[in-house]
Amino acid sequence: MAGNKPGPAPGIEGKLARLGMRSRAELALHLPLRYEDETAVFAPEAAPLDRPVLVEARVLKPEVAYRPRRQLVVRAEGLALRFLNFYGSQLKAFQRAADEGLLVRAYGEVRRGLFGAEMIHPRYRLVPEGEPLASALTPIYPSTAGLAQPLLRRLVLEALAGAELAETLPQSLLRRHSLQGIAESVRLLHQPPPQADAAALAQRTHPAWRRVKFDELLAQQLSMRMAYRARRGRDAPALPANGALLKRLLAKLPFRLTRAQRRAMAEILKDLAQPHPMQRLLQGDVGSGKTIVAAIACLAAVDAGLQAAVMAPTEILAEQHYRKFTGWLAPLGVRIAWLHGGLTRAQKKTALAALAGGEAQIGLGTHALFQDASVFARLALAVVDEQHRFGVRQRLALRKKAQARSAPHQLMMSATPIPRTLSMSYYADLDLSVIDELPPGRRPVSTKLVSEARRGEVLARIRDACRAGQQAYWVCPVIEESKQGDLQSAIDAHAALSADLKDLNVGLVHGRLPAADKAAVMAAFSAGRIHLLVATTVIEVGLDVPNASLMVLEHAERFGLAQLHQLRGRIGRGSLDSACILLYASPLSQAARARLKVVYENADGFEIARQDLALRGPGEVLGEAQSGTPLLRFADLDKDEPLLIAARESAEALLEADPAAAERHVERWLGARRDLLRA
C-alpha cells in the first residue's frame, strides 16, 4: 500500500491498523464517535449540570491533597478540579498558570460540591484571557491506547484533505432516496460547520449521517449479494419435485402438513429443481416441524438417484433425526447411514463405505463426521440443522466446500428466530423460508417464575406429574468460568434430586458423557423408563419427547433469552398441559429480572428475539456464530430499518445496472474486511 499510507511516525501506523485503517481512504472514513461543544464557555456558577460543558475560570492554587486519597486539587475562581492520577509536570504547569494569571478551560460534567462547582478529571487547557473559542463542534474519534485525540484528529484531517471521495452512486439513486453527496457528508461529519444541528449530529439523524449509514448498509448488502450470486452461478443437479418416493411419502404422512410447512416445502422443491445450488435458510420456531420438511427435501435427492447429508450439532439430535427419518423413509425402502460416536471401528467403516459406494442414500450425523465431503459418492443436498449453533468456522468450511464448479444444494435450519432486520442484513446471502405456525393441537406452555426458596413445592409438583405418567426435565445452567463447573452443577443436582425423589427414576445427561451412554440415557427417557432427566443445555436443541410436560430451569437467570425459549420448546409437544418453571436465586439483579420477564410474558420466539436484540444489540445476539461478519459501525438496525430496506433494493438494482460501481462501493467501505465475506 506504499504511497497511500497515512504517513506519520512508525509506531502510529500499527495503532491505526489496529483501528482498521491501513490507507488514507480508510482514515478519511474514520468518522467521529461523538462531538464536544467547545463553542460556548460557561462561568462555573452558571454551568448547566445535565451535560458536559466547557467551563472557564482563573487558576488560583494547585495543591496535593491526601484525603480521602492522594489527589491533585486545582483551586480556581468558583471552581475546583480534581485529578486522582496526575503527573508532577501537571502540578508545575498549574503552578505556573497561577503565577501568570492564566485561565483554565475544562471540558466535562460539573457537580455542585460542598465548596462550589467541581469537576473530576476534566479535559483541560491553560489559556490566556481572551483566547478565542472553537468556532465549531469538536469531533471525538474512536481511538486506541497511545493515540491521543489531537493527533488522531490531525491525521484524519490530513487524510481528508488528500482523499478523493469520488461519488460511487448514480444520481438517480441518490434522488430516489433523498441522499446527499458522499464527499460533502464525510467532510461535514469531520468538520461540522458552526451552524450545524448539534442534536442531529449527536443522534446520528443528520443527513450526513444518513448518507454514511446508507453507504455502509449498501456495501454490506452488495457484498452479501455478490457472494450469493457467485455461489448461485455454480452448477448443481436439478432434483425432481414429483419423484415416485416423494409422492408416496406425501400420500401416507402420519399428519397433515401445516400451511406454512407446505409453503416452505414448495419454496425448497422449486429451488432444488434448478440446476444451481440452493442456499436457503429454513426458519421456524421450536416445534414448528422443520424436520419433516428436511426429510422431504432429502427425498428429492434420493428420487434423483443421488444422496443427501443431514448434519446436527449434537449426537443426541442426530440420533433423534435418525429415528424420525427411519420412521418416515425406511418403509419406502430408503437406506440411511447413521454415523455416530457409539459405532465400533468396523461399523463405522461399513457405514462410510455405504456412503462412498452410494448404497446409502442419506447420511446422518454430527457435523464433525462430515468434515470430508468425499465421504459421499453423489452428494446433491446438505442439510444443516440448528444452523445458529454452528460457529463461524463451520459455516466458512461449508462455503469453502461449495467453491468447486459444482456444489450441493444447501438447506440450513434454525429455530432461533432471527429478527427481520438481522436476517435482512447478516443473512442477506441466503434465501429465507419461514414456518410461522405450529402444528395444530399444541397446548401453550405456562411459564412460572419461582424463587429457589420454594424448591420443595417444585419437587412435589415433579412427583405428582411423574406419578400421573408424565415426565420432566431439570436443566442446569452453563457456568461461564469453568466448563467443569457446568458439569458439576448437573452432577450435584442429579445426586440431590435422586435423594429427594427416591420413588422416581432420575437420569443424567451432559456433554461429557460418552456418546453411547448419552444415547442410552436418551433412549430410556424417550421410552419413559426415566421419569426425571437432569441435563445440561445439551438438550437445548431439537429434542422431542412429547410425554415430557414439565421443565425446571435451575438458575434461570444465568441463561440467555434465546436459550430459555429453546429449552422451553422441549415441552408442550404432546397434548398435555405443560409448565416451565424458571427457578431463580434471589435477589435478582435488575437486568436479570428484565430478561426473565421477557420470557415469562412472551411465547412467540420472534418477539423474544426482537426484545433480545433491543436489550443486547446485534453483536451479542449474533455472537460467536457470526463473528466473522463485520458488524455495522454506523447504522443501527433498530433505528435504521427504512434505510436498510432502501439499501437492499438499491443493491440489486446497482448490481444489475453498474457492477463496476458496485465493486468500487464495496471496496471503499469494506476494503480488507471483504475476505471474511467471500469465504
Can you give the binding site for Mg ion, defined by CB under 5 A? Answer: 542
Of residues 436 through 475, those in contact with ligand ADP by CB under 6 A are: 439
Other C-beta atoms closer than 10 Å to the C-beta of 107 total: 18
Using the rule CB under 6 A, is 415 a contact of ligand ADP? yes
For the bound state, the minimum distance from the C-beta of residue 541 to ligand ADP, rounded and expressed in Å, comes to: 8
For the bound state, the minimum distance from the C-beta of residue 545 to Mg ion, rounded and expressed in Å, comes to: 13
For the bound state, the minimum distance from the C-beta of residue 69 to ligand ADP, rounded and expressed in Å, comes to: 57
Furthest-apart CA atoms within the chain: distance in Å: 98
For the bound state, the minimum distance from the C-beta of residue 574 to ligand ADP, rounded and expressed in Å, comes to: 9
Interacting residue with ligand ADP among 23, 168, 185, 261 (CB under 6 A): 261
Binding partner of residue 284 among Mg ion, ligand ADP, none, CB cut-off 5 to 8 Å per kind: ligand ADP
Using the rule CB under 6 A, is 56 a contact of ligand ADP? no
- Going along 536-643, which residue ranges are E strands? 548-553, 578-584
Residue 206 or 290: the one with the smaller Cβ distance to ligand ADP is 290
d(CA 548, CA 532): 9
Q: Nearest-5° angle of CA 121, CA 127, CA 132?
A: 115
d(CA 323, CA 343): 16
Measured between alpha carbons, how far apart are the two ends of the chain, in Å? 23
Contact indicator for 131, 105 with CB cutoff of 8 Å:
yes
- Per-residue x/- track, 358-397, ligand ADP (CB under 6 A): ----------------------------------------
Using the rule CB under 6 A, is 281 a contact of ligand ADP? no
Interacting residue with ligand ADP among 23, 258, 470, 629 (CB under 6 A): 258
Binding partner of residue 223 among ligand ADP, Mg ion, none, CB cut-off 5 to 8 Å per kind: none
d(CA 162, CA 181): 18
For the bound state, the minimum distance from the C-beta of residue 321 to Mg ion, rounded and expressed in Å, comes to: 8
d(CA 146, CA 222): 35
Residue 37 or 577: the one with the smaller Cβ distance to ligand ADP is 577
Beta strand 578-584 pairing with 548-553: parallel
Give the dihedral sign, CA 385/390/394/396. Answer: positive
Q: Examine residue 587 and say whether the peptide bond preceding it is cis (omega within 30 degrees of 0).
A: yes
Closest CA to 157 of 8, 2, 3: 8
Interacting residue with ligand ADP among 11, 61, 255, 467 (CB under 6 A): 255
d(CA 297, CA 245): 11
Residue 145 or 251: the one with the smaller Cβ distance to ligand ADP is 251
Q: Which residue's C-beta sits nearest to Mg ion? A: 542
Q: Examine residue 142 and say whether the peptide bond preceding it is cis (omega within 30 degrees of 0).
A: no
Residue 86 or 325: the one with the smaller Cβ distance to ligand ADP is 325
- Going along 603-670, which residue ranges are E strands? none
Q: Which residue's C-beta sits nearest to ligand ADP? A: 289
- Per-residue x/- track, 282-321, ligand ADP (CB under 6 A): --x-xxxxxxx-----------------------------
In DSSP terms, which residues pair with 581 in a beta bridge?
448, 552
User: Site residues (CB under 6 A) for ligand ADP?
Assistant: 255-258, 261, 284, 286-292, 415, 439, 542, 544, 573
